[in-house]
A and B are shown apart, each in its own frame.
Chain A
Amino acid sequence: MIDLAIELTGVGKDYRLFSLQDVSLALPTGQIMGFIGPNGAGKSTTIRILLGLVHQDRGEVRVLGHRMPAEQVAAKWEVGFASDDMRLYDGATIEWHMRFIRSIFPSWDQAYAETLLKRFDLRAEHRVKGLSHGQRVKATLLMVLARRPRLLVLDEPTTGLDPVVRQELLRELAAVMQDDGRSILFSSHNTQDVEQISDQIAFIDRGRIIESRDKETFLERWRRIRVELPGDVRLPALPGIIDIQQAGRLAVATTNEYDGQLPRAYEAAGVRVHAVESMTLEEIFVSNVQHSREGATA
């Protein structure tokens, strides 16, 4: 049986203008899951449910084996959470925050905290009020990382950061994963960040998980096939093709179930295959969302 850091089964939550519907996710221990969705897709609601901060109306949630929200106190000893809308106290220094967290968590690693201070170019005596957005995010992450939690839940931690700071953070998260017993759930609408560090990827849109797989499978199965038709006919939609864009005799077919048979099947139908192109995670995400929305409105 796979050891799961996070397990959501059929989770739902209803608000007046938004519903989270039948969300099921599983993050094996020792892996990083990138949780991608447009703004308002339900990423933050899902994460708040994971932490017991919002109680689900339906479904089961287990975090590090703890049932949520009932066992949220026990779970939160081992979970580090940071989000882009989380702020430290303006009136206190970074040093004060470090002492505060250290007084609560026996797992606090002071040597690591000091290493992170240097690596993030932060000064312990600085008040939070005087820090830039990037410094605040780094200070928040320092408080979380130096606790050495078994599970890191990060809700859009790279939003609004410049590329240099973003790379520093991603490098640090990758370093965390050198310890096999630790896991990360990392939400973002920046697919580049997610593609760089994730093992697992889940797409969410309009409150539903539209696809969840390991990153390699995503990148292997999604392809764009550029073809030329023999005459002024429509490109046949073969199984696994989810989108066709055609202009005259030229067409581009997108598949989410690519295997070597598809180009051969087109050629057998008299279609000339010009190229089979890999897709970036961003292209996969956009196609996935569009396909899901077309399916929902059809």
Chain B
Amino acid sequence: MTRSLVWRLIVKDWYLSRSTLAVIAVVGALSVGSLYLRQGLTSLLGMLTALFATIFLGVLMPQQTILNERKRQNLAFMMSLPLSARDYTTAKILSNLLAFLALWLPITIGMIGTVAGTGLYGGIVPLMTVAALAPFVGFALFVAVGLVTESETAALTTMAACNVSYSFVWLFISRIPGFLHDLGSPVAIWQPEIQAIVAGEIGLILGSFGLTFYFQSQKTDFI
């Protein structure tokens, strides 16, 4: 693998997505900042805005760096560079993953940390963790399907299906015995079901990226 070339492709993706990343960074910072005000409605709005910011990030970044590259016919230019399909896949996954983590992690840690730091609302931390991982799962699936199928329709459909599936997750969580009681607890209570959901989300994220490498290695046509 040509590491320095992969790194240049990563930096290239960040540069070309810099406006999107900057807007989401500002929105994310304002959302997390609003939690410090500790005013009911403002904090709730801040939490929702932060969540939506990460959802948008998870769609816009792969859209710009993977799908638009094909749609706007930049892929031939990229693939004329001395890189293999594996190099290309690595560069795309890393540029997206690192950019996503660079914004998602501070937003998520800021959000959960602020709530947990009050010492009053620790009970909602497990639910917040599941919710914060949801955009990450959607993002990982979007990147994987976008790279493997090279189809915007397939990637958006997968993302939509993922979001709809979360309705069932919320329904399942609401039926966990004692869950509503745990929500009001000042400390986080990690029920086994919640732990399983979080593990499932992490598994889906890792699996998506792993399978992307596998399917890309099976491809014989790249343009």
Interface, chain A (partner B; CB < 8 A)? 48, 51, 53-55, 72-74, 76-77, 79-83, 85-92, 96, 100, 103-104, 140, 144
Contact A76 B73 (CB under 8 A): no
Residues of chain A within 8 A (CB-CB) of B82 are 73-74, 76-77, 104
Q: Which residues of B contact A76 (CB under 8 A)?
A: 80-83
A144 to chain B, nearest CB (A): 8
- Cross-interface CB contact of A103 among B8, B87, B221, cutoff 8 Å: B8
List residues of chain B with CB within 8 A of the CB of A55: 220-221
Contact B84 A72 (CB under 8 A): yes
Tell me, yes or no, whether B3 is within 8 Å of chain A by CB: no
Contacts of B5 in A (CB 8 A): 104
A-chain residues with CB within 8 Å of residue B16 when the two chains form the complex: 89, 91-92
Q: Is B12 among interface residues, defined by CB-CB distance under 8 A?
A: yes
Instruction: Give the CA-CA distance A73 to B88 in the complex, in Å.
Output: 11
Q: Is the interface of A mostly helix, strand, loop or mixed?
A: mixed
Judge if B77 is at the interface, Cβ distance under 8 Å: yes
In chain B, positions 1-44 with a C-beta closer than 8 Å to chain A are 2, 5, 8, 12, 15-16
Give the distance in Å from the alpha carbon of A274 to the alpha carbon of B209 in the complex. 73
A74–B83 Cα distance when bound, in Å, is: 9
Number of interface residues of B (CB under 8 A): 22
Number of A-B residue pairs at CB separation under 8 A? 64
CB–CB B81/A54 < 8 A: no
Nearest-Cβ distance from residue B113 to partner chain A, whole angstroms = 35
Please tell me if the beta carbons of B221 and A86 are within 8 angstroms of each other in the complex. Answer: no
Docked pose: A54 CA to B221 CA in angstroms = 4
Known contacts being A86-B73, A92-B16, is A104 close to B8, with CB within 8 Å?
A: yes
Cβ of B45 under 8 Å from chain A: no
Cα A192 to Cα B12 with chains together (Å) = 39
Partner pick for A85 among B73, B83, B220, B221, CB 8 A cutoff? B73
**Which 5 pairs, one residue from A and one from B, show the smallest C-beta to C-beta distance?**
A55-B220, A76-B82, A81-B80, A86-B76, A87-B73
In Å, the complex CA distance between A76 and B5 comes to 13
A61 to chain B, nearest CB (A): 13
Specify which chain A residues have a CB less than 8 angstroms from the CB of B74 in the assembled complex.
87-89
Determine which of B2, B12, B73, B223 lies in contact with A100 in the assembled complex, contact meaning CB atoms within 8 Å.
B12
**Chain B contacts of A73 at CB under 8 A?**
2, 82-84, 87
Cα-based distance from A53 to B79 in the complex (angstroms): 7
